[in-house]
Structure formats: structure tokens, C-alpha cells
Amino acid sequence: MCGIVGYIGFREAWPIVIKGLKRLEYRGYDSAGISIINDNGFSIYKKAGKVAFLEDFTRNQDRSGRVAMGHTRWATHGEPSDINSHPHSSNDKRLYIIHNGIIENYATLKEELLNRGHQFESDTDTEVLIHLIEEIQGIEQIDLLEAVRLALNTVIGAYAIVIMDRENPDQLIAARKGSPLVIGIGEGEYFIASDATPIVEYIKNVIYLKDNEIALIKRDALLVKRLDNVIQTPLVQELELKLEELEKGGFDHFMLKEIYEQPRSIRDCMRGRINAEEGKIELGGIKEYADKLKNIERIIIIACGTSWHAGLTGEYLIEEYARIPVEVEYASEFRYRNPIITEKDIVIAISQSGETADTMAAIEIAKEKGATIFGICNVVGSSIPRITHAGVYTHAGPEIGVASTKAFTAQVTVLTLLAFYIAQQKGTLTVSKLTSLLTELDSIPDKIQTVLATNNLIKNIAAKIKDSRNCLFLGRGSGFPVALEGALKLKEISYIHAEGYPAAEMKHGPIALIDKEMPVVVIATKNSSYEKVISNIQEVKARKGIVIAIVTAGDKEIGKMVDYCIEIPDADEAFLPLLAIIPLQLLAYHVAVMRGCNVDQPRNLAKSVTVE
Ligand code: AGP
């Protein structure tokens, strides 16, 4: 996600835009830029780093002007750098664009434009779009609004854009598809932003542009059209949310917002990478290693915390579908135990932040021993992607809550795609099986939406266990990493001691803990180990434990033997982690809130552990 702010009116634009970008930094903060038009002409300032850095960098520059647009970036194509930051310009430096989203067909468009003599400065998909608009306007000899409309009809992907024309300073053009854009309506002034956070202090009336709509904005006029050229009468709405609520999108905490973002973040993670009809997967970041993957004899996954739990789901998926042995190592252990690694190994480092010290140190050791290193990270251009040979970004967007939620499901999504991708290379999955798996994977975001709808039930269950001192999480097969992750979520934000265990292991010790005070969360969905899990539930109930079961929708059998049931939609076992973790995230969240804990910044924890 990136942050967009635009202004056209009678006020000085710079203070509005720079303050607005700071309000949007929760959407992305690896680089920022502003373009502004004044009586002396046009200025553009763009720098890697936070918005405050751009502000300091331009302190002695000409920042006057009453038309401006700004962007704070969350890199998806092209690492964070001055040149990759927005706004981007057309070939003739007349048009400028800021963009939030992903242009999936940018490579094809870029090739065509290069063949027509265009020259590009950056690695971004955004720069291709403004060059395309320039090219269409030049060929068709049409006005800018029409050129933008025609260009967007050829674009595949998601965008929220604002375009500025140096030679036509009294207008801005905005458009959206798949990424949010709101237009604030003033008297003789208009505001544009990714959400209402940057504009709520200036105006009350807004228009939320709809997908496939484009707007021409002047100080005293607003024209909204659909991409099929039909003029729209947009709905004017009054803003109700307060600023503080807006940054959290109306949620009480960033963690809850990020839990609810998971249908979108998983779609973004899959975007441009799966073709369900043809049963094909594209992972551009590792495609040059496709042959190596075909013949690899071992994969080692290194990570910490939640990322380690994602890695464990990766082990189950890769071994099941690609039939390659996988070992999952805590990076902190791996780095100190002189591991046996050869150049025949592929090591996969998983890290949301891309900055975890233990994981980085483990990477260096594996590299020294000749392994090929892939990274699975969320923060584009962070340290780990810079020191690995290749990788796959999770595209989950900034994760502000210290307790990882959407990053975990995005990591699991990438590992699922990786398992299928290797199976595709090795032929261990038929095209028809891949087609059915990818078709079902495509439906997972909607199924997660269904699970999110059980939030109130989960909140009621949380109220029953909020005063517990201990909690056990049990699962079998791919339910075991889910149990581990559910336990970590509960312990790190509610401070209740929680442990995840393989359900069958309970009889080897933890069963001694079971009594009427002990809540036991069991992943008991209909899969290959269902009957065995039922036995484990009965063992707990025989000792008066409180059982909360995550069950397959419609399973009434288990309902008779447990205290609480939370249903998740039926799905292939491959996708169980993506669905079963959702209720556990919500359970941990509600318990922590009821215990008065600081959900977004739990005690003693940091979002990125950059020290040993
Ligand atoms: C998870 O909720 C925690 N925030 C923590 O375990 C985290 O997963 C771990 O520190 C690894 O961080 P990384 O993914 O950024 O490397």
C-alpha cells in the first residue's frame, strides 16, 4: 500500500500535502515525494526515507504553490530509492503521476514503449503508466482526461492515481481501480487522498471514487466519468470518523485492522502470480532458479517467531506436493550450531521485516557454505532481500501491529505457491490437480471473509477464558503449526502463558496440566487426522478441560463433546493454515483487549528484532 495526497485550491498546498503524507505513513514509508506548481513554474522533490526526511531536505527550497500532489511509498516494483520514489514523469517531463497499486502488465507495456523510443529512469510499474498516457495523447491528439481514460482501459492490475500536467496547472486528474481514493469537497478547493485521514480537518463532504472511475478536478468544478466514458453523478457523503479512528480505518487497533485486511492482502500476494484456469504459477523473483529447484535435494527454512511457524507450514506443503525434504530451523539456533550446508542446498529465509538479526546472521552462514538463498519478505528493499540471491515478496502491505497476522497468512500463501511452483517444475502435480488447487486457493480470501464474520462468537468465547493463567493449543499435521502460531498470538499480546503442541504429544506430558481451569484450543477440522483429534478431545474432556474446537462448518458431531465450536469453511487440507489461524488471531486479540493489554505494542516486544 502507498499513501496519496493531492490539493488544488486557494491555500498553500505544501503544508496540506506534507502533513497528509505523515498521516498516511502507516500505509507505507520507505520513500516520499511531492510535485507542486506555482507562479514561478513547477518543482518536484522526491527522496528515499520517511516523509520527515523529505520535509527536512526541502526546507530551503521553493515549496510555494496552490496545486500539489504527494506520495509516500510502500515499494512493490523497484527498491526504495530517490529515483524509484513518486511522482514519476512522462518522457517529455510534462506529465507527472503518483500511484498506489500494482500494474500487472507493466512489463509488456514497457517493452512496447521502449520500442517507440521511450526512456525510463526508474524500475517502477508507475513510470510505465505515465509514459503510456503520454504516448496515447501524442498519437491520438486528444486531451489529457481522454488519454488517461484510454490508457486505463489497457491496464491490468490495481491503481489509485493522481496526474498533474505542468502545462495545465489548474487541474488534477484522479482515477481508481482496486485501491482506495477519496475526494474532499471544499469551497473553491478540492482534496484527494488514499483515505480521509489527511483531509478530515479541512472538509466534511467527500466522494469515494468507485472502481473504474476517473475524475477531472478543477478549483470550482469536478467531473467524474466511468472508463466507458459515461458521466457519473457521484454520491456526496459526510465524514463521521475522527482522525485517530481513520488511521486505523475505523478499527480500535492496527492489529484488528490487519486481521480484517487478510482477504485483501492474500489477494495482493497472489496477484499476477496464479493462472487457475491453466493451472500455472509465476514467481518472477525466483524463475531463474526454476531448473535448480527441479533438481534440488533439500530445502532448509530459517526464520524466527511467527515466520518460523509459517516456515513449518511450508515444510508440510513442500514435502506433500513437491516431494523435497525440508528442514525448518530457528535462525538463532542455526547460526550457532555449525550446520551441515552444501552448495546443493536451497535455504529460504522468511522475515516480515527483513531486518531480524538472527535471520540475517543465519543467512550469512548459509551463504558462506555455498547454499543458494531465497528470501520471503514483506518490506521491499529491506536488508534481507538485499543479501539473498532471489526471493518472493509477500505484498501484505505495512504491518503496524507488533503481533504478526496478515504477514503470517501472506507468508503461508507464498509458501503454498512455492510448493505448487516446485511441483509444477518437477511434475509431481498434474496440470488438472494444479488447476483445482489454484481455483480453490483463489477462493480462500472469500472463505476468510466468512470466518471473520464469526468475530462476535469468538469475542464471547474470549470472555470465558480471559482470566485463565494457561492455555494449550493442539493440532495435527498442518494444524500443528497453526496451534503454535495461535499460542504465540495469545501469549504475546495477553500475557497468558500458552503452548502449542502436536495433539498426539499431549499424552507425553502436557496432559498432566489439564484440569477444569485449563482452556484447550484444538484444530479439529475434517482432514486426515480428524478421528485421532477426536480422541485427543475426549482425553481432555475426561480430565474436565475446557475445549474450544476449530471445526469444519457443519460438523455437529464435535459440537456435542466440546465447550465451544468455531466453524471454518471446508477446504483442501493445503489451505487449512490460512483459514484455521483467523479465529485464533481474533481470540488472542479479544482476550488481550479484555485484559486491558496494549494490543498494538505489547510489553517487552518490538516489531522488528534487529538485535541478537
Ligand atoms: C510475531 O507476532 C512476533 N512479532 C515475532 O515473533 C516475529 O514474528 C519475529 O520477531 C520475526 O520477525 P520477522 O518476521 O520480521 O523476521
Whether the per-residue pLDDT at 60 is higher than 90: the answer is yes
Q: Does the structure show a pLDDT above 90 at 448?
A: yes
Q: Mutate which of 404, 489, 581, 605 to test ligand 1's pocket (most atoms within 8 Å of Cβ)?
A: 404
Q: Is the pLDDT of residue 24 over 90?
A: no
CA-proximal residue: ligand 1, atom 4 (nearest): 403
Comparing CA positions, the residue from 552, 609, 549 lying closest to residue 576 is 552
Using the mean position of ligand 1's atoms as its centre, give its distance from the Cα of residue 306 in Å. 5
Taking 80 as the threshold, does the pLDDT of residue 382 lie above it? Answer: no
How far, in Å, is the centroid of ligand 1 from the Cα of 26?
18
Q: Measuring CA to CA, how many Å separate 608 from each of 26, 165, 381, 391, 512?
A: 16, 41, 15, 20, 36
Ligand 1 touching residue 608 (CB < 6 A): yes
Distance from residue 608's CA to the centre of ligand 1 (Å) = 7
Q: Which helix (H) or strand (E) holds 564?
A: strand 564-568
| 403 CB near ligand 1 (under 6 Å) | yes
Q: Which atom of ligand 1 is nearest to the CA of 359?
A: 16
Average pLDDT on 578-597 reads: 98
Residue 610: pLDDT over 80: no
Return the ligand 1 atom nearest residue 403 CA: 2
pLDDT of residue 245: 62
What's the grid cell of residue 524? 479439529
| Predicted local confidence at residue 304, as pLDDT | 97
C-beta of 382 in contact with ligand 1 (< 6 A): no
pLDDT at 178: 82
Which has more pLDDT, 266 or 76? 266
Q: Any residues with CB less than 8 A from the CB of 208 and at least 6 apart, and which?
A: 180, 181, 182, 183, 235, 237
Pocket mutation for ligand 1, best pick of 353, 380, 495 (most atoms within 8 Å of C-beta): 353
Q: Which residue has the CA at smallest separation from atom 13 of ligand 1?
A: 351
With a cut of 80, say whether residue 27 has pLDDT above it.
no
* 606 Cα: distance to centroid of ligand 1 (angstroms): 9
356 Cβ inside 6 Å of ligand 1 = yes
- The residues near 561 (Cβ < 8 Å, ≥ 6 apart) are 534, 537, 538, 541, 547
**Type of residue found at 122:** S
Give the model confidence (pLDDT) of 266-307 as tens digits.
999 999 999 999 999 999 999 999 999 999 999 999 999 999
φ, ψ for residue 167 (rounded to 5)? -90, 0
Helix extents (H) in 495-607: 530-541, 576-594
How confident is the prediction for the chain on average, in pLDDT?
94
How confident is the model over 585-610, as a mean pLDDT? Answer: 91
For residues 152-182, b (16+ Cβ closer than 10 Å) or e, as one string?
beebebbbbbbbbbbeebebbbbbbbbbbbb
**In this predicted structure, what is the pLDDT of residue 528?**
85
Q: Cα of 353 to ligand 1 centre, how many Å?
A: 8
Asked if residue 128 has its Cβ within 6 Å of ligand 1, the reply is no
Angle (deg, nearest 10), helices 106-115 and 125-140: 50
Reported as type and span, the H/E element at residue 605 is: none
* 607 belongs to the catalytic site: yes
Say if residue 246's pLDDT is above 80. no
Ligand 1 near 351 CB (within 6 A): yes
Give the residue from 423, 433, 395, 437 showing the smallest Cα distance to 274. 437
User: Ligand 1 atom 9: the closest Cα is on which residue?
Assistant: 305
- pLDDT-derived band at 603 (thresholds 50, 70, 90) equals confident
C-alpha 534 to ligand 1 mean position (Å): 32
From the number of C-beta atoms within 10 Å of its C-beta (0-12, 13-18, 19+), residue 354 rates as buried
Residue 57: pLDDT band with limits 50, 70, 90: very high
Task: Give SS3 for 471.
Answer: strand
Mark whether 269 is an active-site residue.
no
Ligand 1: distance of its center to the CA of 211 in Å? Answer: 35
Q: What is the Cα 233 distance to its own chain's centre?
A: 33
Report the nearest-CA residue for atom 5 of ligand 1: 305
Q: Is the CB of 425 under 6 A from ligand 1?
A: no
Q: What is the share, in percent, of the chain residues with pLDDT greater than 90? A: 86
CB 335 within 8 A of CB 365: yes
Q: Distance from the CA of 407 to the center of ligand 1, in angstroms?
A: 9
* Alpha carbons 77 and 320: distance in angstroms, whole number: 32
Percent of the chain with pLDDT over 70: 99
Longest dimension (CA), the chain: 82
Q: Residue 342 and residue 367: Cα distance in Å, rounded?
A: 9
Arithmetic mean of pLDDT, 530-546: 94
Is residue 332 in contact with ligand 1, taking CB distance under 6 Å? no
Dist CA 312 CA 306 (whole Å): 10
pLDDT band at residue 187, thresholds of 50, 70 and 90?
A: very high
Q: How far is the CA of 304 from the centre of ligand 1 (A)?
A: 6
User: Is any atom of ligand 1 closer than 6 Å to the C-beta of 305?
Assistant: yes
Cα 442 from Cα 575, distance rounded (Å): 11
Q: Which residue has the least CA distance to atom 7 on ligand 1?
A: 305
Q: Give the CA dihedral 132, 133, 138, 144, nearest 10 degrees.
A: 180
The band of 244, judged by pLDDT with boundaries at 50, 70 and 90, is low
Give, for ligand 1, the residue of 405, 609, 610 to mutate: max count of ligand atoms closer than 8 Å to Cβ: 609
Cβ(102)–Cβ(126) below 8 Å: no
Give the dihedral sign, CA 201/31/398/209: positive
* Confidence tier at 527 by pLDDT (50, 70, 90): confident
User: Is the CB of 352 within 6 Å of ligand 1?
Assistant: yes
**Overall size of the chain counted in residues:** 612
- The pairing of strands 519-523 and 470-475 is parallel
**All three cell numbers of 602:** 505489547
Q: Is the CB of 405 under 6 A from ligand 1?
A: no
Dist CA 70 CA 457 (whole Å): 42
Rg of the chain over Cα atoms, rounded to whole angstroms, equals: 25
